[in-house]
Structure 1
Amino acid sequence: MADLMGAVKEALCRPVLKGEEGTWIGFFRFPADFPGFAGHFPAYPILPAVVQLMAVQAVLEEAQRARPRLLRLERAKFLERIFPDQEIRVQCRLKEAGEEKRVEAELTVNGKKAAAFRLGATWTS
């Protein structure tokens, strides 16, 4: 899984941007030979949901300069298929909730919402 996370981070197109208060934005482009496409699905590659979550995790790690520990996934909606070589905008909004932070994430491709979900997370150094 560490190798896959490394490949996800390599797919980051440009530095993570700080948006409005508590919002961070990253842009990814996964090439056709990205290992996450292997077997998902043969002859019709679609970016797996777990890789979409890993992209959110990569944005959060850059934003907080620490590795997030994802505790829970709430209300996940995967609305559009994401194909190789598409630019994906990953926006994360952090909200305090005690020791835990709530993360609202949205992935868009070509201006269309491709996925949206909420996460609970904590951070470690």
Structure 2
Amino acid sequence: MKAGAIGLKGYFNDRQVLEMSDKLACLSFLREVIGKQVFNRELLTISAELCFPADFPAFDGHFPGQPVLPAVIQLVVVRMLAGDLLQMPLTTVKTGSMKFKGMIMPTERISIKVVLKKIDSHWQADFALSKLESDVASGNILFKKRQD
């Protein structure tokens, strides 16, 4: 299977992405894959190292014989890190342009950087995931504070 530049828009509509990311954000096991985090609250940036073990539940059935981390899991990690930086729970308002240029396989070391920008009562997160100097995914997502 060859990785090409794809966007989620062709596969899921905004509502489906929002619903999936809301359901998955509560999964505490996602915290276990996030390694060292570097915050800069003044510049509104956060960087982290990720490593998804071979037995990570999201690899089950995606795809048999060649496990690949689903894109929606990558988006949930972006939201979790943005929430950590802002020190508040977030919900997804809208997905912007996104490119998924590579696949994330089990045990690969991934670097992620998220840069936030305040837009009215929302937060835009520009994100980039990379491995070994190669871009894996990038894009932007609009968040707002989650009202419980």
TM-score by length of 2: 0.77
- Are positions 1:44 and 2:66 aligned together? yes
Structure with the larger strand share: 1
- Are positions 1:60 and 2:110 aligned together? no
- Are positions 1:71 and 2:89 aligned together? no
Report if aligned partners of 1:4, 1:36 keep a CA contact under 8 Å in 2.
no
Partner of 2:29, secondary structure, is: helix
Structure with the larger helix share: 2
Q: Which has the larger radius of gyration?
A: 2
Partner of 2:103, secondary structure, is: coil
Match of 1:18 among 12, 21, 39: 39
Please report how far the alpha carbon of residue 42 of structure 1 lies from its aligned counterpart in structure 2 after TM superposition.
Answer: 0.7
- The equivalent of 1:82 in structure 2 is 104
Please report how far the alpha carbon of residue 117 of structure 1 lies from its aligned counterpart in structure 2 after TM superposition.
Answer: 1.0
Closer, same or farther: CA 77–2 of 1 in aligned 2, 3 Å? closer
Closer, same or farther: CA 91–3 of 1 in aligned 2, 3 Å? closer
Query: Percent of pairs identical after alignment?
Result: 25
Closer, same or farther: CA 69–41 of 1 in aligned 2, 3 Å? same
Q: How does 1:96-111 map to 2 (within 5 A)?
A: 96-111=118-133
| Residue type at the aligned position of 1:17 | V
Report if aligned partners of 1:59, 1:90 keep a CA contact under 8 Å in 2.
no
Bigger mean CA deviation after superposition, 36-45 or 16-25: 16-25
**Structure 2 gap ranges (5+):** 1-22
Partner of 1:45, secondary structure, is: coil
Closer, same or farther: CA 29–124 of 1 in aligned 2, 3 Å? same
TM-score by length of 1: 0.90
| Residue type at the aligned position of 1:115 | A
Report if aligned partners of 2:110, 2:131 keep a CA contact under 8 Å in 1.
yes
Closer, same or farther: CA 2–79 of 1 in aligned 2, 3 Å? closer
What CA deviation, in whole Å up to 9, does each residue of 1:19-67 have, x standing for no partner? Answer: 4712111211000000000000011000100111111112112212211
Name the count of aligned residue pairs.
124
Partner of 1:13, secondary structure, is: strand
For 1:72 and 1:82, the matched residues in 2 are separated by 24
